[in-house]
Chain A
């Protein structure tokens, strides 16, 4: 593992826009943040805040056209991924930075068995592995799938939503990446399954020590896993800092409002506080 104080990821003034028939949509409007090895950063924001585009941009997975990288740098282990050649970029994807997505049911290839989808991830970056099947089985057990040997032969549609997400995690960890990007990993899952997947991610973080970037709209799930939180609103980072500080002493009015309007179990408040968008716009100096 690299020495821990060196920054793993440094995003500087990243700018990405979508050019559609209705004109330019500034999805990511000049954001900067950085991550240390082993750190967990939660990027929280509502729909349209640009959080997913940011995550996907790390390894240039945002389809362009219609998107275009207008500016900024993404320095990962000292090199700007925006400038990497396709060949170099492919060596980063899956080996250094890997992803899990929101809809596990559609993110897995429906006509391939679990075994071959995980094996492919291993063979892409780890030619040295002799017994790929055994390694695949180890990974499935690592992510908490019982009787992994049996499950290897299944197709994605034969597994439950929670199991499919565990397979995605196993596939992402196949080449022990330095950074795991989780784009709304539990949004499509029931609350009980969501708790299990978050528990699993926390476990893997301690066991494997890889950095995690967690993208979500749900503030509640970030509290006990994230080291830092970045709050995004319409393509900008409006708040960025250690978890406890952001949750308990939010600076920006948007963060304050967002935290207050979440209904909390047992709070017995009669009315929820709503967001006054005009006030936020003013604060953003738009």
Chain B
């Protein structure tokens, strides 16, 4: 029995999961690490905004950001109102903070629809193939054949203005990208020897799909979410402009549209404020999303093209 030391030599001190190696590589990208901090700040603002909203909601009182003050209408930026007030005297900064809440809620609720849908259909199509694959390919080709903006508009229009319409619209359209990626990964991993080994041990299809292959493709969900989040934000702006977006809540889209009229009167700070608030979060998410993809799965082809 030749248990030479050589064949168990040169192992690092403590166990290295693929996640820890990926995290180490991600951290080496200083720009991405900085952007991660920006996102953490936004999460903080989001949680604060949620507390403001829910305390007002539970006390059944008008939340502070909605309090109108007619004689302070269109005030320029001042110490009291850092970014001035809108045409009804509401403080712009308070509204921008609520804009963060709306953005996070849209992203999370839409993802709650698209991630399970995209992952499940992608896994089924990739693993079982044949008619299951063809049916799911037909389904996502059809959904993908309708330009996303048109299908989201239609769903929001039919379901009615507000969060519900946007979330259902984006959720029922954006799942196609994830589904394609997951399908590709399942097709690839299905051929790997470790799946044949599991089958040879007598592991059933479900075990192979969930216990063996799924952990190897979960990272795609994280990458996809991080890259979709900014596109949800940009899409909300357009939906709100088209009148099928958010209603009676200060989303960034609504604020940008309100600021449109007053821009021509020289009131630039409303448009500037909303654009800046959105810009840093979207920029940070794009950079972090790219860095995550390079760290977790460099060969992954997420065809994302330009932002809406």
What total count of A-B pairs have CB within 8 Å?
14
Closest to B28 in A: A21
A277 x B4 contact (CB < 8 A): yes
Q: Which residues of A contact B (CB under 8 A)?
A: 21, 274-278
Give the interface size class of chain B: under 10
Query: With A and B bound together, what is the CA distance between A277 and B5 in angstroms?
Result: 9
B4 x A276 contact (CB < 8 A): yes
Name 14 interchain pairs, CB-CB below 8 A, sorted by A: A21-B24, A21-B25, A21-B28, A274-B2, A274-B4, A275-B6, A276-B4, A276-B6, A277-B4, A277-B6, A277-B9, A278-B4, A278-B5, A278-B6
Chain B residues near A276 (CB-CB < 8 A) = 4, 6
Query: With A and B bound together, what is the CA distance between A58 and B6 in angstroms?
Result: 33
Q: Which residues of B contact A (CB under 8 A)?
A: 2, 4-6, 9, 24-25, 28
Closest chain A CB from B244 CB (angstroms): 45
Closest 8 A-B residue pairs measured CB to CB? A277-B6, A21-B28, A274-B2, A276-B4, A21-B25, A278-B5, A278-B6, A274-B4
Chain B residues near A274 (CB-CB < 8 A) = 2, 4
Interface of A is mostly: loop
Query: With A and B bound together, what is the CA distance between A278 and B24 in angstroms?
Result: 32
Query: With A and B bound together, what is the CA distance between A275 and B2 in angstroms?
Result: 11
Chain B residues near A275 (CB-CB < 8 A) = 6
Closest chain A CB from B32 CB (angstroms): 14
Query: With A and B bound together, what is the CA distance between A138 and B23 in angstroms?
Result: 56
Known: A274-B4, A278-B5, A278-B6. 11 other contacts (CB 8 A): A21-B24, A21-B25, A21-B28, A274-B2, A275-B6, A276-B4, A276-B6, A277-B4, A277-B6, A277-B9, A278-B4
Chain B residues near A277 (CB-CB < 8 A) = 4, 6, 9
Closest to B4 in A: A276
Query: With A and B bound together, what is the CA distance between A274 and B28 in angstroms?
Result: 41
Query: With A and B bound together, what is the CA distance between A278 and B25 in angstroms?
Result: 32
